[in-house]
Structure formats: C-alpha cells, structure tokens
Amino acid sequence: EAGVTQFPSHSVIEKGQTVTLRCDPISGHDNLYWYRRVMGKEIKFLLHFVKESKQDESGMPNNRFLAERTGGTYSTLKVQPAELEDSGVYFCASRHHTNTGELFFGEGSRLTVL
C-alpha cells in the first residue's frame, strides 16, 4: 500500500512568487491534514479536511494560503504571494475515519523563500 506522498520535496522561490504543494493521501483515508514546521519550532497545525470539506482551518496563517481538496482525494496548498516567513517544511498527513488517533505522514515539502 502506498503511503502519503508529497510533491515537491523541496522548492526554492523568491519572495512574491507562488508555490503549490501537493499531497496524495493513502487511498481511502478521508481525513487529510496539513502541518508546517518552521526551523527549530514545533510542528503547527494548518488545516484539516474530511473528504472535500474543510473541517478545521483555524491554523491557516493568513489569506495568502489556500488549500483545496477537490473530489476528496489529493490536496493542494498554494501560497501566493510567498513571504520570507513562509519558509519551512510542510507536512501532509492522512487518517482513516475508523482509526482514532494515528496519522500517517508524508516526507514533507521543504519550502525556501528567498
């Protein structure tokens, strides 16, 4: 069974540009989460999808961040325009609705904004 996959693994962009990160959850997992880790700090929650609906987006920093999950399968997280403080590692995780607790994580997408 394929795990959670994320693309790209690393992206370097200039301030003001746009980046789109993609996450493919484990097949059949209706819960999908986005997290971000800024260097040396804790991993912070961004948002949570249940199927295609946003269950909780309380962690989204501002309106420069847009997450979508059309059709309830893969998800994208777009940052537009990117700022220096957006640099970090963006993690995606998924969970089956019958599994209380364990999230399965991707390897993360490292974003560097210059």
Partner 1 sequence: AQTVTQSQPEMSVQEAETVTLSCTYDTSENNYYLFWYKQPPSRQMILVIRQEAYKQQNATENRFSVNFQKAAKSFSLKISDSQLGDTAMYFCAFMKLSGTASKLTFGTGTRLQVTL
Q: Which of 29, 67, 75, 108 binds partner 1 (CB under 8 A)?
A: 108
Q: Which of 75, 79, 88, 91 binds partner 1 (CB under 8 A)?
A: 91
Tokens 């069974």 -> residue: 1
Mask for 1-20, x = binds partner 1 (CB under 8 A): --xx----------------
Q: How many residues in the chain?
A: 114
Measured distance CA(46)–CA(59) in Å, rounded: 4
Check residue 97 for interaction with partner 1 (CB under 8 A): yes
Check residue 44 for interaction with partner 1 (CB under 8 A): yes
Q: Which residues pair with 78 in a beta bridge?
A: 20, 66
As given in the structure block, the two tokens for residue 5 are: 């996959």
Check residue 54 for interaction with partner 1 (CB under 8 A): no
Check residue 26 for interaction with partner 1 (CB under 8 A): no
Q: Which residues pair with 114 in a beta bridge?
A: none
CA distances from 68 to 7, 76, 103, 114 (A): 15, 5, 19, 25
Check residue 56 for interaction with partner 1 (CB under 8 A): yes
Residues in contact with partner 1 by the rule CB under 8 A: 3-4, 31, 33, 35, 40-45, 48, 50, 55-56, 91, 93, 95, 97, 100-103, 105-108
